[in-house]
Amino acid sequence: MTRKFEETKYIGKRYNHLVFLRDTGKRQSGAVIAEFQCDCGAIVERFANPIINLKVLSCGCANKRLDHDEIIRLYVEEKRSTTYIAKLFKAHNATIRNVLKYKGIERRDHSESTKLFHNTTLDENVFDDINEFSAYWIGFLLCDATISGESRIQLELSPKDKDHLEKFKLFVNGSQKIVELHKKQSICGKYTSVIYSFQSKHMVSKLSEYYIVPRKTGTEEAHISLQNNKHFWRGVLDGDGWVSIHKGRLYIGICGSEKLCNQFLDYCKTIDPSIINKVAVKSNVSNLHLNGMIAEKIIKELYWDSNIWLTRKGDIIKTFFGV
């Protein structure tokens, strides 16, 4: 059964440059034909559905010329895309972009356009100030994030650490979905990971100040402002480190660039100057191992009275200390 067209819902309402006047009663293949008045004064009969869904700009008068003011209004005030505007004016996308450039209108970057298109939320300013949470996530992202181009940030973890992705999503106030990805690995066969990704040119720019950049593997280092920040180092340990118990003894360590490992060693010596351990340097990755009473001191300094940590490692620490 065809649903009845409720004319009263539309009478007098504006759709771009067209105002709905009445249902003519005419139908073509079931499509409603209605009467509209255009801002140019013309009264025309048109298919109602495309106009009500804002896919038509005017009676046709606007298509005869490019109304620069209208293009700017649609782009700036209504946040419409250049593709949408081009379709309304029956023009090429490049033509609309050239109009915006000619009028000095700054184009939205890809990340902002994506957010508008998908109606997503994101707090792009979370790394503008350093606090416990931003310092922690800088440390974690330094180890585990992938930065692509000028705007994409991706964090990929094991499914057993999915709750940690949820914490990061909450931190950035993001509405994007966490995706489960099945991959193939030649030696170990298939494996699964969980991914949270989004685009933010501002956030990528801010993270680059802390050396979180594309292709950072092997070049990681702590920014001078974070070299003695326990929350940052807890993020590093959660990201590229380990915590384990063997025969009643606690073992911890990190792996990464030689510089990052030495910076962590220097930080640990501020907690226990008696440390004589050295960084094991290898061609592709270096590491630092600590155990026993020294490891216990480091863990207490990093994790006690803290509000964010990797649950899996936190559980090992709670087991060891009986808390």
Whether residue 313 is found in the same domain as residue 236: yes
Q: Are 109 and 151 in contact (CB under 8 A)?
A: yes
Domain for residue 48, yes or no?
yes
Determine the structural domain holding residue 195 and report its residue range: 122-216
Domain of 174, CATH number, reads: 3.10.28.10
**Is there a single domain that holds both residue 226 and residue 198?**
no
Contacts of 186 (CB under 8 A, 6+ apart): none
Per residue in 113-162, pLDDT tens? Answer: 665 555 567 888 999 999 999 999 999 999 999 999 888 899 999 999 99
Do 143 and 209 lie in one domain? The reply is yes
- Neighbour-count burial for 296-307, b at 16+ CB within 10 Å, e otherwise: bbbbebbbeeee
pLDDT of 62-117, one tens digit each? 655 567 888 888 878 777 778 778 877 777 777 788 788 878 888 777 656 665 55
129 and 66: one domain?
A: no
Among the candidates 48, 82, 115, a domain finishes at 115
281 shares its domain with 224? yes
- Residues 106 and 272: their CA atoms lie apart, in Å, by 54
| Separation CA 140–CA 305 (nearest Å) | 18
pLDDT value for 145? 94
Domain end among 115, 145, 162: 115
Q: Are residues 65 and 99 in the same domain?
A: yes
Same domain, 103 and 137: no
Residue 185 falls within a domain, yes or no?
Answer: yes
Percent of the chain residues topping a pLDDT of 70: 90
Specify whether 93 is located in the same domain as 135. Answer: no
291-311 confidence digits (pLDDT tens) = 999 999 999 999 999 999 999
Same domain for 282 and 225:
yes
| Contact call for residues 123 and 203 (beta carbons, < 8 A) | no
Structural domain contains residue 249: yes
Q: Write down the pTM of the prediction.
A: 0.66
Q: Does 1 reside within a domain?
A: no
279 within a domain of the structure (yes/no)? yes
CA distances from 37 to 14, 22, 34, 74 (A): 9, 10, 10, 20
| pLDDT reported for residue 1 | 42
> What are the backbone angles phi and psi of residue 314, rounded to the nearest 5°?
-60, -35
Structure tokens at 286: 């270096």
Instruction: Report the pLDDT value the prediction gives residue 115, as an integer from 0 to 100.
Output: 57
Q: Is 268 a residue whose pLDDT tops 60?
A: yes
Is 75 domain-assigned? yes
Q: How many domains does the chain have?
A: 3
Average pLDDT over residues 225-247: 96
Residue at which a domain ends, from 84, 115, 146: 115
